[in-house]
Chain A
Amino acid sequence: MVHTARFVSILEFVVLECYIGMNENVKLSHTAALILRTVDCGYRYGFDIMDVTGLPSGTVYPALRRLERDGLVAGKWEDESIALAEERPARRYYRTTRAGRQSLVLLIERYPLLEKLTPVQK
């Protein structure tokens, strides 16, 4: 009985999360969607995204903050030792989260041109 109740509550939570997540995705503007797609393509820091999208820094950074707040991207400081070895300050890299990738699928349906952005060659 207890297990069933727990299962139902978990299911309810997941469904609710997915529903809210989908709604959140739909609410993303084209610019935010473009930035999310850019991050997903492997452009991992602010100025790189600015170069690719042509958007100004005053747009890119607040959009990244919002995506990070909504859990669609995650920012992480690179290892200090790598930056030290290369004699440069450490960078904060962004990557899409699982929720972000799921949102992107829906967003590409809404903004089909986003698909034309090709991933970075590594």
Chain B
Amino acid sequence: MSDARTAILARLRAAPKATVPDLPEWTGPVFADRLERFRIMLEAVHGEVHVIAADQWRPHLRLILSSKDVGRVMAPPELAVDWPDVVAYDRPAEALKDQLVDGIDAAITTACGAIAETGTVVLRPDADQPRLMSLLPPIHVVLLKLSDMADNMAGLMAAQDWAGTMPTNLLLISGPSKTADIEQTLAYGVHGPKELIVLVLS
């Protein structure tokens, strides 16, 4: 349909020129206590936040998983998660589909950043932690370094040079999957995880 392309662009170019307005000043908010803001915002949308010493997360995770009656966990091997039944996402999704859709109770991934303003974790899924890990299992546990937390989205984008390093898929996640399509009543886990648990490593 290159004819359509030529015709559409020609019509747009033939239109009168508007002046290009300047961008008015705007900066995102900053917070005296980032972690507190992050916690308030994420808990407000039904997320769980646990702040743990960086070398203590494995036993803490084990407690959380036990308390939620989790059976099979999916986690990348390099995280060395301490749990009796851990599987890795070690094949293409096509070969794992049935298990992914209905056979995993919880998935553990890392986050590459977080936004305090909105209570958001940022994921860059890759070959070790593919996209569906944070989507199909009913519980998603995220490991986040406190030092990767920014005040606002614009700040994080700039600090991590998102524009220069966009992966196949970059994800901002703020709470478990939810809907309010039936009478504006909130319901969780409509398609994605019912629970989002963030372990903030201090």
Asked if A pairs with B, the answer is no
